[in-house]
Amino acid sequence: MRRFIMLVLAVGLLFLFTACGLLGNGNEGGGDNITEPGGENSSTETPPSDTPTSVLPSTQDEYNPRPSWPEPPLSDFEYSFVAELGGYEITAYTGNWSSVLIPAIIDEHIVAAIGERAFEKNDMTDVYIPNSVTLISEHAFYECQNLTSVTIPYNIASIADGTFAGCVNLTSITFSDSLISIGDVAFFRCSSLTSITLPDNLTSIGDGVFTWCTSLVDINVSPGNVHFMSEGGVLYNIDQSAIVQYPAGKAEDSFSIPDNVKMIGRSAFRDAGKLSGIRLPAGLADIGERAFASCTSLTSISLPDGLASIGDWAFTSCTSLTSVSFPNSLISIGDGAFASCTSLTSVSLPNSLISIGEMAFASCTSLTSVSLPDSIISIGKRVFSYCSRLASITIPNSVNAIGEGTFYEATNLRDVYFVSSTPPSVDPAAFYAISSDARAIVPNAAAYGGEGANWHGLIVTQAEG
């Protein structure tokens, strides 16, 4: 009889504990123990006043289940309490485990955040980020070069700048539908990433997010997303008026941008090294910063009528580019727009052009011919610096200023023709380190200091006729 009574009591206690959630995962091994009220791991105990009372839905555990890896000792982590988050922030990890399971609970408080550069350059191959985490700071996993896969927890709304930059072996990343934004260069130089799927609620993608992702061939978008769309693995905004990202690893050698595209985003084609030809649509209005930077196989480009400006560094380091056709609508060329285009031999700029940015054609080492229009008012800093094969150039009547180092180290430049009888304002270093016998060939030598005078490093020479 006594044995029977004890058995009944044991069964009753088991039922009671199960109902109260005391026999769930608990905090064994540091696993997540905050779930939907009434779920397996819920507790009837009131949390400390500085502990968040919200709980994680059980679906999160299904989306991002805690793996069965051994848990590193707590001493491997550095952490601090953040009152605003009601939990701890992991500020550093000093361990050397290959699979790192980040704890969800420390001292009965949730782990709510991962701090800036907390895991920077760690040798881990896998990491589990618990569902309690709501904030991952900038460069948190920067250059974790052995990391192969990661799942972003359900409560993360934003991936900060550079979070996974330099994770060169990262092949798989999973987002939840809670993700709203991805920061600048978040996956910069993730050179093993081949495909990625962006979730339903993503509204914002920063600059250079997939720069140097040289194996990336497909960017897909969940069908419920109302801000972005994908076609052929290429990422556009939802109405396809802007191209956001062309995957740099695509094998095609040519690409025709759809006719309804009006804007090419920053770094959109950067490092697309296999593309030798790109057709731009007739209605294109804007080419963003570094849009085609380092498209090293691109041989020619025809800029369409109506285009008014070219963004900074838009075609920099397109080392095979030999020909550029400029439209008569073009007003400005950005800083460094064609810098280091080492195969470019000649440039004829349109009469509509008013402004040439700093270093726009710097280090174009094959450039031998430049035609400047009468519409140009000033030539900025180092525009033709290091153009070592440029032998002559004509400065139009409209130019009233030549900036610092405009022709710096254009070592072969010998003849500079000035159309205006009134000398422009010239920076003392404008013609520094050019040919030692370089001449300023002018219509009125007296205005430039007289025949044979040294004018800003140029020998004044009266033009014939």
Considering only the C-alpha atoms of the chain, give the largest distance between any 2 of them, rounded to a whole number of Å.
130
For residue 380, give the nearest of 312, 464, 463 by alpha carbon: 312
Tell me how far apart the alpha carbons of residues 5 and 3 are, in angstroms, rounded to a whole number.
5
CA-CA distance, 324 to 344, in Å (whole number)? 8
CA angle at residue 34 from 29 to 40, to 5 degrees?
90
Q: State the pTM of this model.
A: 0.83
Tokens representing 384 are: 């033709």
Q: How many residues does the chain have?
A: 465
Structural contact between residues 423 and 448, judged by C-beta atoms closer than 8 angstroms? yes
153: Cα separation from own chain's centroid: 23
Decide if 168 contacts 146 (C-beta within 8 A). Answer: no
d(C-alpha 222, C-alpha 214), whole Å: 23
Domain spans of the chain? 2-48
Q: What is the pLDDT along the chain (465 residues), one digit of tens a residue?
A: 433 333 333 333 333 333 333 333 333 333 333 222 233 332 323 334 443 333 344 466 688 999 999 999 999 999 999 999 999 999 999 999 999 999 999 999 999 999 999 999 999 999 999 999 999 999 999 999 999 999 999 999 999 999 999 999 999 999 999 999 999 999 999 999 999 999 999 999 999 999 999 999 999 999 999 999 999 999 999 999 999 999 999 999 999 999 999 999 999 999 999 999 999 999 999 999 999 999 999 999 999 999 999 999 999 999 999 999 999 999 999 999 999 999 999 999 999 999 999 999 999 999 999 999 999 999 989 999 999 999 999 999 999 999 999 999 999 999 999 999 999 999 999 999 999 999 999 999 999 999 999 999 999 999 996
Neighbours of 363 (CB within 10 A): 21
- Which DSSP state fits 69? P
Q: Of 216, 215, 189, 212, which is closest to residue 198 (Cα–Cα)?
A: 216
